[in-house]
Amino acid sequence: MLGHGHGHGHGHGHGRAAPRESARTTDDHGHAHARTTSDAATRALGIGVLLHAVFMVVEAVAGWWSGSLALLSDAGHMLSDVGALLLAWFAQRLRERTPDASYTFGLRRLPVLGGLVNGISLLAIVVLVVVEAVERFGDTPTIDGMSVLVVGVLGLLVNLVGAWMLHRSGDRSVNVRGALLHVLADALGSVAAVLSAVVILTIGWTPIDAIASVVIAALILLASLPLLRDALHILLQRAPVGLDVAALRASVDARPSVVRVRDLHVWQLDSGQTVASLVVISSAGSLEEASGVADAIRKHLHDEYDIDHATIELRPEKAPDPHHHF
């Protein structure tokens, strides 16, 4: 009878194998395409960092000189964008590198840590902008509307160019999508600054600048809360949002030769890779049968729950609970 089986690997199907040379050619082509896409995204992120860093300084100086809180708040958001793009670029550069052997999962949590830092900094910017806006509602300074308009339009162009480059790279990873969302949110901030400048130039109503800065702060908040939530969920090793752990357990319990699932853990390395480990009590009578059961469970987890990597330990019905010995 089966004593102790252990299955480990990626959740892929196990149908008829393709010819070796054909499989190798397809695999090499896929890796080459992924490498090209990753390199294009890295270049786009690097150029985006430079564009945003230069314009951030221009916008901060223009905001101080013109007296526009909308420009100053957008410059603060631009600072967070520079940080977000820089972290995304750094993570992209390290993504394909093999770290020290002690990093058994590689460096896939780097983008998550970057997201957490960016989210916290965004919240700090929101608080500072809102406090300053409230103070300005009672004492609105003179604002140079033309400066705000010119810098706002330039900022919108910078953000649209950065967003286009990231989209054109073809990389749809979580890391690059997060950077793209930051840039698009900043583009909306530039639109708010442009609209406030138009109002100031046409009717001279300067309180619109403080109102526009609050709108920008609200946009920053809307972008940062989901980012913080996702980062904390991953770092706390919560199961992915939308994945029903009870239903997953029941579906594995219903598999052939499965008596019950004793241990089940599902978490994410980042928001693009889900991992699971489980101890399965099985009625399999041989090592070969146990391997088939593990492969079938692994394929089920991949196909039905999008779990990329599963570690499965199979144990016979009469085996003691291993936790009782440690």
Helix (H) or strand (E) holding 264: strand 258-270
Cα 243 versus chain centre, distance: 17
Model pLDDT, residue 207: 85
Assign residue 242 a region (left: φ > 0; alpha: ψ between -120 and 50; beta: otherwise).
left
Residues 140 and 226 in one domain: yes
Model pLDDT, residue 77: 67
- Taking only the tens place, the pLDDT of each residue in 70-112 is 677 767 767 777 877 887 788 777 765 667 788 777 777 777 7
CATH, residue 87: 1.20.1510.10
Given strand 273-282, what is the order of strands in its sheet?
5-10, 309-316, 273-282, 258-270
7 part of a folded domain: no
Residues 77 and 217 in one domain: yes
Tally of domains within the chain: 2
- Taking only the tens place, the pLDDT of each residue in 168-220 is 877 666 667 777 777 877 787 778 778 888 988 898 888 887 888 788 788 77
Model pLDDT, residue 9: 47
Residues 160 and 280 in one domain: no
Residues 98 and 133 in one domain: yes
Residues 210 and 259 in one domain: no
9 part of a folded domain: no
Residues 219 and 256 in one domain: no
Residues 45 and 168 in one domain: yes
Q: At what angle do helices 207-235 and 69-95 cross, to 10 degrees?
A: 20
- Positions in the chain short of pLDDT 50: 1, 3-34, 325-326
24 part of a folded domain: yes
Model pLDDT, residue 38: 63
182 part of a folded domain: yes
Model pLDDT, residue 229: 86
Domain span including residue 272: 240-325
For the record, the structure tokens of 3 come out as: 């004593």
Q: Residue 124 — φ and ψ, nearest 5°?
A: -60, -40
Residues 136 and 210 in one domain: yes
Model pLDDT, residue 249: 96
Model pLDDT, residue 191: 84
Model pLDDT, residue 190: 79
Cβ burial of 26 (10 Å; 0-12, 13-18, 19+) is exposed
Give the domain-ending residue among 194, 209, 235: 235
